[in-house]
Structure 1
Amino acid sequence: MKIQKTVLGELDRAYATTIMEVNGKTKYIVASEGESQCVSYDMETHEKTVVWDGPGGTMNIVPVPGRENEFIATQKFIPTFNAAECRIVHAKADAEGRWSVVPIMTIPYLHRFDLLEIEGRLHLIGGVLCNSKQFKDDWSDPGRIIVGRFNEDITQPFELTTIHDGITKNHGFCASEWKGKKAFFVTGVEGMFVAYPPEKLEGKWQVEQLFDHEISDCALCDIDGDGKPEIATIEAFHGEKGKIYKETEDGWKVIHEHTYEFGHVVWGGKLLGKPAFIIAGRKGKMELVVYTLDDKGNFVETVVDNTGGPSNIAVAHKGDTDVILAANRQIGEIAIYELSQEA
């Protein structure tokens, strides 16, 4: 695997990432968790556009399904866990690429979320880190999983419903499929929970517990191609273990483990046509590692970088290459890594 790194720019406390189409062109979008900007870079020209100058505190950027040039993001989730005023905002680019940003509503401590359509109506599912805090390490008021249906005018506030509560350090969130259905994985001290959306507007969300030990983040990928997804995790909260689990007749077994410091990135999907996991740590060696299997079923570890300390990544296909967009938070850097096959 050939790896070509390009630094797109600097951004203090670079954190949230997404890759989306804007006016027919692919854009890399990264926002700061600090009191700083959200910026966009064109995939081809690397031209920079400022989406907003503040207030920052962005944990997530999620393109709006079924709509062009629009995303929902969080703001005011300021380090460290100072998020009582966290809010979601609607951002939209016009035909000239200029962005307008409208606050929708305050959702305290909303750490991760995703958007989905049910019978053509836009919905939010989110993981709330905790319900309140008196000080940084106060975890006495556990978080929850919330859902809500946007109004026809998606810039207007809407009602939220709790579908599961009692998740301490509710940090990890992953949208995937499970048991043949769309599913959302949420993790915390109490374990890993799977939330299934209803097929109809008036249906009920269902939640089940999959693991019962502390997990910080997770991702799914059928890395061995047997038709059943494996699960990669970071354990414990912001923890030092990157693990890959396989389901067996005797339950879930760890089939690979790697040590990190302040683990924070975990991703699953295909890179250069092969199933892969990506796991990274923000401190220490700051490794960003791709995991694949060779022809004999042995794990291959490819270190993409060990200088950035990424907080989040996004992945896109670009011709014969795949691109990893990284918010290298520890050094305030926005970078892309273009992966290609060895000649």
Structure 2
Amino acid sequence: MKFEKILSDSLESCYSVARLQHGDEDFLLVASEVEQSCFAYNLNNELERTTVWNEVGGTMSIIQIPGSLDFLATQKFYPGFDAKECQIVQGTYQGNGSWKISKVADFPYLHRFDLIQEKSGRILFVGCTIANSKAFVEDWSDKGKIVVGEFDYQESNLFNLKELALRLLKNHGYYEVKEEGYSLITGVEGILKLTYPEYSDSGDWRLDLIFNEETSDIVQVDLDGDGQKENIIIQGFHGDRLRVFNQDFSQEIFHHPEATPFGHAIWSGNLLGEDVFVFGWRSGKADLMLYRYQDQTVEPVMVEADSASSNCLAFEKDGRAYIFSANNGRHHVALYELMK
């Protein structure tokens, strides 16, 4: 198993990635965390590049609006967590790889957010702020919030917003399992399971602590094929420890043998019939790697050494598998094809 780079492009401090797919249209988006651009690459037209916006950036998340090629994204969340001017914008697809950008709401310090479509068609909103206010970069005294509510697609606005009681120190990670009715949110306090209203016994949002060690990011996947998902976590805020636990965190299955400083890029899922995860770190060797379960152990496969990825995603198209990565530390956008 090896990877071949089929796209190499330049974007200063590229950070956030997304795939937008609806009907016959299919795009990869990447946006910068500084005052730079957001690019779209057309997967149906030889990766033709268009510019979604210029010289705004500060984009931590890009989330597709269900049932459309439109999206919501954050802007003006700039490095050093200088994010009091952070806002949510909507990209409305205009055709030919272009989107009209309009402001939805001011949302200071919003780092991760999501849209969840219920069976009724209602679109729920989950937003996680990295802090509530800051006097200086390393001021963590005012903890971040988890805000839930609804999104009205037709009116392009958020409503019925409320803050959950628990506030999180250094919230960073967010992972959704929409088909099972929950999301996982991480911080110094550990890993919290947020159950959506229609899956909760109370009919309201439910928040449960499921792991009480500081965690930066988490994904889940059934690596060994036993029907139970493993938990893959980065420990320490932007931490240097990659660990794999069983379903209930009672047993560590694997840890990366070396420190992985500034651990950041993480994705999990099925590629060509195999459950895998991808992980990249931004300091030291700064490698991007795919991990698979082989011969009763977790086996790493190099995607690219010294890539310094901030975020990545993997996907299949036309029977082939790819990894799309914002190689932040190299100011480099890359698409890799899996060659089996």
Q: What is the TM-score of this pair, normalised by structure 1?
A: 0.93
Structure 1: distance between partners of 2:55 and 2:91: 13
Trace 1:316-331 onto structure 2 (pairs within 5 A).
Answer: 316-331=315-330
Alpha-carbon spacing, 1:152–1:272, altered in 2? closer, same or farther (3 Å): closer
Root-mean-square deviation (CA), in Å? 1.8
Structure 2: distance between partners of 1:176 and 1:183: 5
Cα deviation per residue 1:180-239 (whole Å; 9 max; x = unaligned)?
831100000000000011129993101100111100000000111111110001110000
Aligned to 2:171: 170
Between 1:217-226 and 1:141-150, the stretch displaced more is 141-150
Q: Note the C-alpha offset of 1:301.
A: 0.9
Trace 1:43-192 onto structure 2 (pairs within 5 A).
Answer: 43=43, 44-66=45-67, 68-118=68-118, 119-151=120-152, 153-176=154-177, 181-192=180-191
Q: Note the C-alpha offset of 1:159.
A: 4.0
8 A contact 1:272–1:340 mirrored in 2 = no
Structure 2: distance between partners of 1:268 and 1:93: 28
Aligned to 2:250: 252
Aligned to 2:313: 314
Cα deviation per residue 1:115-140 (whole Å; 9 max; x = unaligned)?
11232122211211111111000111
Q: Note the C-alpha offset of 1:172.
A: 0.6
Structure 1: distance between partners of 2:273 and 2:158: 41
Aligned to 1:16: 16
Structure 2: distance between partners of 1:274 and 1:253: 23
Structure 2: distance between partners of 1:270 and 1:152: 30
Q: Note the C-alpha offset of 1:310.
A: 0.6
Cα deviation per residue 1:142-161 (whole Å; 9 max; x = unaligned)?
11211111235342353421
- Paired amino acid for 1:282: R
Unaligned runs of 5+ in 1: none
Aligned to 1:332: 331
1:207 and 2:186 aligned: no
1:193 and 2:195 aligned: no
Structure 2: distance between partners of 1:175 and 1:69: 20
Aligned to 2:2: 2
Secondary structure of residue in 2 paired with 1:304: strand
Secondary structure of residue in 1 paired with 2:144: strand
Cα deviation per residue 1:6-57 (whole Å; 9 max; x = unaligned)?
3341111100001112672321100001111111011241211000113110
8 A contact 1:272–1:339 mirrored in 2 = no
Unaligned runs of 5+ in 2: none
Between 1:297-306 and 1:233-242, the stretch displaced more is 297-306
Tell me the matched-pair count. Answer: 335
Aligned to 2:291: 291
Structure 2: distance between partners of 1:153 and 1:82: 31
Alpha-carbon spacing, 1:154–1:224, altered in 2? closer, same or farther (3 Å): farther
- Consecutive aligned runs of 4 or more in structure 1 exceeding 6 Å deviation: none
- Paired amino acid for 1:273: G
Secondary structure of residue in 2 paired with 1:199: helix
- Paired amino acid for 2:254: H
Structure 2: distance between partners of 1:332 and 1:120: 39
Trace 1:226-245 onto structure 2 (pairs within 5 A).
Answer: 226-245=226-245
1:274 and 2:274 aligned: yes
- Paired amino acid for 1:323: Y
Q: What is the TM-score of this pair, normalised by structure 2?
A: 0.94
